[in-house]
């Protein structure tokens, strides 16, 4: 069902897009621009431009069309499968691939590839958009993911994650010099003003988040780390490293505004995963070597002299 919202302008000369964003903070900037461009934002009945400056007492009408259900198609996208049996598979996801479809990324995702490879043999616990997906890693993070082929395997693996017995280790390059190993124990919640970001916040909505990090090597201006997740919150490593003043190199959201062009995103790789097999009870562990984008970046750095 279409939703309608009315906004009465109280600030003289405010731009239409800023007026909508201020009155409807749950909408992202791109969502607001999309509504304006498609004619769903009107001033006194007339479609507005985003830069239009509005007079006091003008009435903006914002129409939000009903969400269009996503149809997820199987696509013949190559997969780097590290392990597979009748209950699960372990996939090495490349940097730049989104895990599951969402608005703006409706195809070309890991799920599209899994549907082609596995057909109907994926757990349905997370619905049609995320079949088989037990946990996620960000689009520009590379590395290992486990996928469940049936609901029993999915439940077992999800319980291991909840109990903190599921092993997840990452490799990262971060800005600055971290002298020694350490742990970040700081709760994470969605940023109160920027809904696409997470932040360390002391609030009822914040969830426990613990990241252990170990120094691998020092470079001039950078440190290579191995990191072990105790919990698995959205953007956890990226948020925690930024919180202690050492954001992940190349991170466009939590790092410096200056972009490291060759990286095309954060230098972060999920290199190790370990779990108890849902059917056999055997502990299994898999590793994925550092990908070329990671090793090529390291080659550009100057090792710190001892």
Q: pLDDT digit string (tens) for 49-79?
A: 878 888 888 888 988 876 555 578 889 999 9
Nearest-CA neighbor of 125 among 89, 81, 159? 159
- The residue among 179 and 105 whose pLDDT is bigger is 179
Nearest-CA neighbor of 18 among 44, 43, 64, 52? 52
How far is 12 from 65, CA to CA, in rounded Å? 28
Q: Supply the pLDDT for residue 70.
A: 59
How far is 31 from 53, CA to CA, in rounded Å? 19
Nearest-CA neighbor of 167 among 228, 112, 76, 113? 228
Instruction: Give the pLDDT band of residue 247 (cuts 50, 70, 90).
Output: very high
Contact present, 224 and 176 (Cβ < 8 Å): no
Q: Supply the pLDDT for residue 255.
A: 93
3-state helix, strand, coil in the chain (%, to 5): 20, 30, 50
Active site (annotated) includes residue 120: no
Regarding whether 286 and 186 lie in a shared domain, the answer is yes
Q: Which of 80, 87, 120, 138 is catalytic?
A: 138
Average pLDDT over the chain reads 90
Q: How many CB atoms lie within 10 A of CB 280?
A: 10
Regarding whether 170 and 158 lie in a shared domain, the answer is no
From first CA to last CA, the distance across the chain in angstroms is: 65
- The residue among 68 and 165 whose pLDDT is bigger is 165
Q: Check whether 146 has a pLDDT greater than 60.
A: yes
Q: Which domain holds residue 204?
A: 164-306
The total domain count for the chain is: 3
pTM of the model: 0.77
Regarding whether 288 and 269 lie in a shared domain, the answer is yes
Contact present, 33 and 44 (Cβ < 8 Å): no
Q: Supply the pLDDT for residue 18.
A: 87
Q: Supply the pLDDT for residue 7.
A: 87
> Alpha carbon 30 to chain centroid distance?
17
List phi, psi (to 5°) of 210. -130, 125
Contact present, 108 and 72 (Cβ < 8 Å): no
Regarding whether 52 and 119 lie in a shared domain, the answer is no
Regarding whether 218 and 258 lie in a shared domain, the answer is yes
CATH code: domain of residue 140: 3.30.2350.10
- The residue among 213 and 206 whose pLDDT is bigger is 213
How far is 214 from 280, CA to CA, in rounded Å? 32
How far is 99 from 130, CA to CA, in rounded Å? 8
How far is 186 from 209, CA to CA, in rounded Å? 6
Q: Output the CA–CA distances (angstroms, integers) from residue 168 to 18, 63, 103, 143, in the order listed.
A: 41, 44, 28, 10
Average pLDDT of the residues in 17-43: 83
Domain boundary among 128, 163, 198: 163
Regarding whether 175 and 281 lie in a shared domain, the answer is yes
Regarding whether 114 and 193 lie in a shared domain, the answer is no
């Amino acid at each position: 069902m279409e939703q309608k919202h009315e906004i009465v302008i109280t600030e003289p000369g405010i731009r239409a897009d800023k007026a909508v964003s201020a009155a409807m903070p749950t909408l992202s900037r791109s969502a607001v621009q999309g509504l304006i461009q498609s004619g769903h934002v009107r001033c006194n009945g007339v479609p507005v431009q985003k830069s239009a400056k509005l007079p006091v007492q003008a009435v903006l009408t914002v129409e939000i069309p009903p969400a269009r259900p996503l149809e997820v198609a199987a696509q013949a996208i190559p997969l780097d499968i590290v392990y597979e049996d009748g209950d699960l598979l372990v996939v090495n996801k490349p940097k730049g691939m989104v895990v599951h479809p969402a608005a703006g990324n409706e195809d070309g995702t890991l799920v599209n590839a899994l549907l082609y490879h596995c057909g109907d043999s994926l757990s349905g616990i997370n619905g049609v958009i995320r079949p088989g997906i037990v946990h996620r890693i960000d689009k520009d993070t590379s590395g290992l993911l486990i996928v469940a082929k049936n609901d029993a395997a999915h439940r077992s693996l999800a319980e291991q994650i909840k109990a903190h017995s599921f092993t997840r280790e990452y490799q990262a390059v971060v800005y600055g010099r971290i002298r020694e190993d350490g742990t970040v124990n700081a709760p994470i919640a969605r940023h109160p003003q920027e809904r696409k970001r997470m932040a360390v916040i002391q609030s009822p909505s914040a969830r426990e988040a613990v990241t252990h990090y170990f120094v691998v090597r020092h470079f001039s201006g950078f440190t290579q780390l191995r990191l072990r997740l105790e919990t698995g919150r959205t953007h956890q490593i990226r948020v925690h490293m930024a919180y202690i003043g050492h954001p992940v190199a190349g991170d466009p959201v939590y790092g410096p505004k200056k972009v490291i062009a060759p990286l095309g995103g954060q230098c972060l790789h999920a290199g190790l995963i370990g779990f108890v097999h849902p059917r056999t009870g055997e502990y299994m562990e898999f590793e994925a070597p550092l990908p070329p984008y990671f090793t090529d970046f390291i080659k550009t750095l100057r090792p710190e002299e001892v």
